[in-house]
Amino acid sequence: MMIIDTVRPLARRVRNRLSSHKLSPVARQVMDEGLTYLSPAKLQRMEQALDSVAGVAGDFAEFGVALGGSAILIAGRASGRQFHGLDVFGMIPEPTSDKDDQKSRSRYQDIKSGSSRGIDGQQYYGYRDKLYEEVRSSFARYSVPVGQNGVHLHKGLFEETWPDVPCEALAFVHLDCDWYDPVAYCLKEVSAKLSPGGVIMIDDYHDYGGCRTAVEEFLAAHPDFDFEDGPNPVLRRQL
């Protein structure tokens, strides 16, 4: 068993290196350090989306920071804008909507049971007592220290923290919050502040039914958004 546990993380790192040649050095490093669950394809698409909003007014935000890898990448590309990262920095809340699928419920039960494994066999981030402090430390190591140069982390449920976030306009938002209720809430809130040409990137659209349903409902009610499919689809506000 020890051999299997050693070989699998090594195989993952080799696969990632082989498919990450188009990524920026920061994206490759957060992946190699096990700070993000995003695949090389998703990270590459994220960097392309960030490039595409270079001339769009507004701040950057991520809902669902986890270990902080993608948040570090986004914050580092903010270029004088504000970056807001929001997370409970602990156990993910339960999927409670009847629009969440069985896959989502099973995944949550696996996490709740304490048996979920983290990246490369490490302790799952939701079980860590000092996750917030760990993430802050990682931000500092990547020269985007929290509390300086417009970089902010907000600890708590989205509906409790977001109303107090000082943000008038958004250019790029990454939603990595899994279930129907948080995705639907975030789409409603951030779309009201998203500038024309701005992007909302959805991490879990192809993974969890509740997330997909929330996005499809949003698109049906907002014809001013274009849907750009891919490993992590983009919702782009029309100019």
Summarised one tens digit per residue, pLDDT across range 74-123 is: 999 998 899 999 999 999 999 999 999 999 999 999 999 999 999 999 99
Summarised one tens digit per residue, pLDDT across range 155-166 is: 999 999 999 999
Domain residue limits at 154: 2-237
| SS3 of 109-125 | HHHHCCCCECHHHCECH
User: Residue 123 burial by CB count (10 A; 0-12/13-18/19+): exposed, middle or buried?
Assistant: exposed
At residue 17, the pLDDT reads 52
Average pLDDT over residues 154-177: 97
Count of domains in the chain?
1
Summarised one tens digit per residue, pLDDT across range 17-34 is: 545 678 999 999 999 999
At residue 79, the pLDDT reads 85
Q: What is the DSSP string of 3-57?
A: HHHHHHHHHHHHHHHHT-TTS-HHHHHHHHTT-----HHHHHHHHHHHHHTTTS-
pTM of the model: 0.91
Q: Which CATH number does the domain housing residue 142 bear?
A: 3.40.50.150
